Amino acid sequence: MSDVAMSSTADATIAVSVHGAAGVLDLVVPAGATSVDVAREYARQAAEVGGATGIPLLQTALGERLNASVALGDAGVRSGDVLVATTGVHRPRRATLLEKARRAPETPEVAAAIAALAAGAAVLAGWYAARAGDDTVRTVAVGVLLGCALAGVLPFGRHLQQRVAAAPAFAAAAAFAALYEPGAHLLPAIVGASAMAAAVVAGIGRALGAGAEEIGTVWIVTGLTVFACCAVTAVAGWDARVAWTLLLFLSMMAARFAPSLAIDVPDEALLDLDRLAVTAWSARDSGRAGRRGRIVVGAGAMERLVRRASRVVTAASVAILVVVSVASPLLLQRATIDLDRIGARCLVLFAGLSLLLAARSYRHAAARTLLRLAGLAALAWLAGFLVAGPGADQLDTFFYAAVLLGAVALVAAVATGRGWRSVWWSRRAEVAESLCGSLAFAAAVVAAGVFRRLWELTS
Q: Is 440 within 8 Å of 357 (Cβ atoms)?
A: no
What digits encode the pLDDT tens for the residues 107-124?
Answer: 777 888 888 899 999 999
Please indicate whether residue 411 or residue 366 has the higher confidence score (pLDDT): 366
The pLDDT of residue 445 = 87
Q: Is the pLDDT of residue 170 over 90?
A: yes
Q: With bands split at pLDDT 50, 70 and 90, how would you rate the model's confidence at 395?
A: low
Q: Is the pLDDT of residue 283 over 60?
A: no
Nearest to 244 by CA among 126, 332, 355: 332
Q: Could you report how far apart the first and last alpha carbons of the chain are, in Å?
A: 100
* Minimum mean pLDDT range among 7-16, 127-136, 228-237, 284-293: 284-293
The pLDDT of residue 309 = 79
* Minimum mean pLDDT range among 1-10, 314-323, 423-432: 1-10
Nearest to 32 by CA among 66, 6, 2: 6
Q: Which CATH number fits domain 13-92: 3.10.20.90, 3.30.450.20, 3.30.70.260, 3.30.1370.60?
A: 3.10.20.90
Mean pLDDT of 412-429: 65
Record the pTM.
Answer: 0.67
Mean pLDDT of 167-192: 86
Backbone dihedral angles phi then psi of residue 109, each to the nearest 5 degrees: -65, -45
Q: What is the largest CA-CA distance in the chain?
A: 115
Residue 260: helix, strand or coil by DSSP? helix
Q: Is 58 within 8 Å of 35 (Cβ atoms)?
A: yes
Query: Which residues are registered as beta bridge partners of 27?
Result: 16
**Cα(237)–Cα(233) distance, integer angstroms:** 6
Q: Is the pLDDT of residue 288 over 60?
A: no
**Cα(163)–Cα(108) distance, integer angstroms:** 11
Q: Where in the chain is the domain with CATH 3.10.20.90?
A: 13-92
Q: With bands split at pLDDT 50, 70 and 90, how would you rate the model's confidence at 292?
A: very low
What digits encode the pLDDT tens for the residues 337-386?
Answer: 777 888 888 899 899 988 988 888 787 788 888 988 998 899 888 888 87
User: What are the residues whose beta carbons fall under 8 Å from the beta carbon of 114, sequence distance 6 or more?
Assistant: 162
The pLDDT of residue 281 = 47
Query: Which residues are registered as beta bridge partners of 370?
Result: none
User: What are the residues whose beta carbons fall under 8 Å from the beta carbon of 179, sequence distance 6 or more?
Assistant: 190, 193, 194
Helix H segments across 15-60?
35-48
Torsion (CA) 343, 345, 346, 349 in degrees, nearest 10: 160
Highest mean pLDDT among 23-27, 313-317, 426-430: 313-317
The pLDDT of residue 1 = 40
Q: Is the pLDDT of residue 160 over 90?
A: no
Encoded amino acid at 27, one letter: L
What digits encode the pLDDT tens for the residues 22-66?
Answer: 778 788 888 788 878 888 888 887 777 666 557 777 778 777 777
Q: Is 49 within 8 Å of 69 (Cβ atoms)?
A: no
- Strands 82-86, 57-60: pairing kind: antiparallel
Nearest to 370 by CA among 411, 416, 312, 330: 312
* Minimum mean pLDDT range among 49-58, 133-142, 164-173, 220-229: 49-58
Range 72-108 burial, b when 16+ CB lie within 10 A, else e: bbeeebeeeeebbbeeeeeeeeeeeeeeeeeeeeeee
